[in-house]
Structure 1
Amino acid sequence: MAFLLDLIEQYGLFFVFGNVLLEQLGAPIPAYPTLVITGALLERGEYSAPMLLLTGVIAALIADYAWYMAGRRYGGRVMAKLCRISLSPDSCVRQTEGVYMRYGPASLIVAKFIPGFASVASALAGAIGTRSGKFILFDTLGAVLWSGSAIFLGSLFSSAVSDLLDILASLGKWGVMLVALAFAVYLAKKWWQRYMFLKDLRMARITVSELDQLLKSGNPPTIIDVRTGVAQQGGRIPGAMVMSVDDDLSALVINPETNSEVIIYCACPNEASAARLAKKLMQRGYTRVRPLTGGIDAWLAAGYAVEQQ
């Protein structure tokens, strides 16, 4: 633990820069505690508060602008990729889009305080064409608020933080193990939540080739697209109706007594959003409901046609 503290003291700004950059790029390595600790160590005179703040802000801006450019170039696909690597995969795109569409670029000011929001919001800003100048302005304000609040808390409670660090340092390797254990517990909890969520969504699926055959039959299924508005810009499966997982299902006009199937698709890992809506429909009496394996990505990869909005 003493080695770790020496590392922070000698390479504090580089350590902060790398930690913030990696977290904002999507790695599950919390940077806020690092900023709090380095803020508490300001009184040791190894670096100044303005330099520490600038380091955190620049690292965050580099990562956020990279996601912004990825969103501008690849559109909704990059947000789907973000959810695939997320520890909370289901609704990160949908929730982020809802907040961003309501408050606009100003939502970036608080984005970093919301787990999983910052990276997706940056990519979304690029995907929907937010001007780069406006994005940088609000993202900078958000980075300053986020980094500044951590540094302020660290300096405000410097005595308590220093005492805690001294205790961990006195524990030697046991202090390192304690910190490592806390981080492992955090990751394990997130993984378990993800595992249980996906386990709850296990059900029969339909392949894109099977869906294509149903569309060509005399009794085509009801198809529901549950993707976000941005994701639908690339087109929908022919005949698909749009519905959100959170919509009032009473608006859905399907007779559960008929033999018509209901096929639901999305653009999310493990068809999470589609499976959630499928379960809700089953609870209302619709027995022939299946998510589309691979979603819209599998449909496009197989070369099947889509229709524009």
Structure 2
Amino acid sequence: MHWVEPYIAAYGSIALFIIIYFESFGAPVPGETLLIAASLLAQQGELSLPVMLLAVFLGAILGDSTGYLIGHFGGRKILIRFGPYIKLTPERLEQFEKLFEKYGSGIVITARFFAILRQLNGIMAGALKMHWLKFVSANIIGAALWTLVWGAGPYFFSALFKKLL
């Protein structure tokens, strides 16, 4: 984690916003790692914790929303065209749609905490026709929880971990 700290210290919360934004709609970047490093830098006084948390929260919401729009306007066509290559038949796609219809909010909230799912979350919700308002509310809740766990958690609990080591 030491390799990322100089970049975060140099570019601050705007860099975190951009990285989390791109990670949230599919780019394979180490957002969670950067968030933990930023939290520890905030504890050392090199970043403002409230500004950093706000930047990460907004980046997560806007990134997932961009992914939703990509999925909504183009993802379904891609799933239908290339789905058979990964054994995603029209029947399975229909099953996933029903799953998102029934459990979509929970899926969106919890997917934020798992790599790869975090990156595909918005795109899949859009492609599987999850209602926009349902998605936005779940996205806000998931982004808030994720930001607090990985952004504020290390800030407040790192002293406890130091004592244990």
- Give the Cα separation in 2 of the matches to 1:81 and 1:16: 35
* Matching residue of 1:189: none
- Give the Cα separation in 2 of the matches to 1:20 and 1:148: 14
* Matching residue of 1:23: 23
In the TM superposition, what whole-angstrom CA distance separates every residue of 1:178-216 from its partner, at most 9, and x where no partner exists? Answer: xxxxxxxxxxxxxxxxxxxxxxxxxxxxxxxxxxxxxxx
Q: How does 1:266-285 map to 2 (within 5 A)?
A: none
- Describe the shift of the 1:104–1:45 C-alpha distance in structure 2 as closer, same or farther (beyond 3 A): same
- Give the Cα separation in 2 of the matches to 1:117 and 1:80: 20
Q: Which moved more, 1:63-72 or 1:31-40?
A: 63-72
Q: CA deviation at 1:53?
A: 1.5
Contact 1:71 1:79 (C-alpha < 8 Å) held by counterparts: no
* Matching residue of 2:53: 53
Q: Which residue identity is paired with 1:17?
A: F
Q: Which residue identity is paired with 2:8?
A: I
* Matching residue of 1:157: 158
Q: CA deviation at 1:18?
A: 2.3
Q: How does 1:74-113 map to 2 (within 5 A)?
A: 74-79=74-79, 90=86, 97=96, 100-113=100-113
TM-score (norm 1): 0.42
- Give the Cα separation in 1 of the matches to 2:104 and 2:51: 30
- Give the Cα separation in 2 of the matches to 1:92 and 1:25: 21
- Describe the shift of the 1:80–1:150 C-alpha distance in structure 2 as closer, same or farther (beyond 3 A): farther
Q: CA deviation at 1:106?
A: 2.8
Q: Give unmatched runs, 5+ long, in structure 2.
A: none
TM-score (norm 2): 0.73
Whichever structure has more helix as a proportion of its residues is 2
Q: CA deviation at 1:145?
A: 1.1
| Superposition CA RMSD, Å | 3.4
* Matching residue of 1:7: 7
Aligned length: 156
**Which is greater in Rg?**
1
Q: CA deviation at 1:141?
A: 0.8
Identity of aligned residues (%): 24
Q: Which residue identity is paired with 1:41?
A: L
Structure having greater relative contact order (Cα 8 Å, sep ≥ 6)? 2
* Secondary structure at the counterpart of residue 11 of structure 1: helix
Whichever structure has more strand as a proportion of its residues is 1
